[in-house]
């Protein structure tokens, strides 16, 4: 691997801290032209340290997830819109699972004005958001709490979830490949997500388009096991075709594909 310049090392460090970096912000920070930053980013992507996204780049991750706060900052505006769109699919007086994830958190945030909900979650952040609402009953799965993100994981959580049969599961995922596999990093979390899918009448997948650009080592499920897919933009034509083939309803929060950064 080629030697990284000081600026490139700093760019990688920023990407690890924030999850993503933007061309304009980096150009201002390092007092260089946007063209210089694009060259740096392209070289870092060639080395598979970063992955290009619209307006910048994000950290490449194949076997270990990003820190939770960094994940919160990636596509924050897109996740907010996805959360609002998904919440509109959940009627009052229904039961649902919400699993671990920054996008499912945005769904929870958009559900705060619903009434008569029963929410079962293995995400302490979601429980904290929803429990103050007297019209929403919150049940938290038991088991070890993962310190990095407040997720409740492991066999006890799986056994707990299997006691329920709910109307909706709202799930996130860390990556989606072109074959329609939903992928994640921690097998203990994956087992909980699989139990959530298996004990729900309808499954709603919520994820932004950047998940098509990431990879992860553990298979959670296949897109054919999903009923509705809420995203900002379906950037994978192969997955779009799989959704048509398996009658997965796709909800996109933007009306046209974002412009591609050169």
d(CA 133, CA 114): 9
In a domain, 65, yes or no: no
Decide: 44 and 11 in contact? Cβ < 8 Å. Answer: yes
Q: Is the pLDDT reported for residue 159 higher than 60?
A: yes
Q: Is residue 258 part of a domain?
A: no
5-14, 61-70, 81-90 — which is least confidently predicted? Answer: 61-70
Same-domain status, 89 and 215: yes
Residue 59 confidence (pLDDT) above 90: no
Question: What pLDDT was estimated at residue 260?
Answer: 44
Residues 36 and 96 reside in one and the same domain: no
Q: How far is CA 98 from CA 74, 182, 185, 251, in A?
A: 20, 16, 18, 18
**Residues 193, 88 within the same domain:** yes
Residue 257 lies in a domain: no
Q: Indicate if 46 and 92 belong to the same structural domain.
A: no
What residue has token string 């996805």?
82
For residue 46, being part of any structural domain is answered with yes
Lowest mean pLDDT among 20-24, 63-67, 155-159: 63-67
49 and 84 in a single domain? The answer is no
For range 129-158, the mean pLDDT: 93
Q: Are residues 136 and 184 in the same domain?
A: yes
**pLDDT at residue 205 in the model:** 98
- pLDDT band at residue 247 using 50, 70 and 90 as cut-offs: very high
Task: Specify whether 26 is located in the same domain as 125.
Answer: no
- Is 261's pLDDT higher than 50? no
Domain count, the chain: 2
211 in a structural domain: yes
Structural domain for 148, as ranges: 70-252
262 pLDDT higher than 50 = no
Domain presence at residue 219 = yes
| Last residue within a domain, chosen from 15, 33, 60 | 60
State the CATH number of the domain containing residue 35: 1.10.10.10
Quote the pLDDT of residue 67.
57
Would residue 262 count as lying in a domain? no
| 42 and 80 part of one domain | no
Of 60, 78, 104, the position where a domain reaches its end is: 60
Integer Cα distance of 255 and 12 in angstroms? 32
Q: Is residue 260 part of a domain?
A: no
């Amino acid at each position: 691997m080629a030697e990284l310049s000081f600026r490139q090392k700093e760019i990688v460090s920023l990407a690890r801290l924030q999850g993503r970096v933007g061309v304009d912000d980096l150009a201002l920070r390092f007092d260089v032209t946007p063209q210089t930053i694009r060259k740096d980013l392209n070289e870092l992507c060639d080395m598979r340290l970063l992955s290009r996204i619209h307006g910048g780049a994000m950290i490449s991750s194949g076997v270990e997830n990003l820190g939770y706060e960094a994940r919160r900052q990636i596509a924050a505006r897109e996740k907010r819109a996805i959360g609002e769109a998904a919440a509109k699919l959940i009627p009052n007086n229904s039961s649902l699972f919400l699993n671990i994830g920054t996008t499912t958190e945005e769904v929870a945030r958009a559900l705060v004005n619903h009434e008569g909900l029963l929410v079962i979650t293995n995400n302490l952040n979601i429980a904290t958001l929803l429990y103050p609402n007297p019209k929403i009953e919150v049940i938290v799965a038991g088991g070890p709490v993962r310190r990095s993100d407040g997720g409740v994981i492991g066999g006890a959580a799986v056994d707990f979830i299997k006691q329920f049969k709910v109307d909706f599961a709202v799930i996130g995922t860390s990556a989606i490949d072109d074959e329609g596999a939903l992928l994640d990093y921690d097998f203990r979390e994956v087992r909980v997500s699989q139990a959530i899918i298996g004990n729900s009448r309808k499954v709603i997948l919520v994820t932004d388009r950047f998940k098509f650009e990431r990879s992860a080592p553990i298979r959670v499920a296949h897109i054919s096991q999903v009923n509705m897919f809420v995203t900002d933009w379906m950037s994978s034509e192969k997955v779009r075709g799989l959704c048509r083939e398996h009658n997965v309803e796709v909800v996109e929060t933007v009306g046209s594909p974002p412009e591609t950064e050169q």
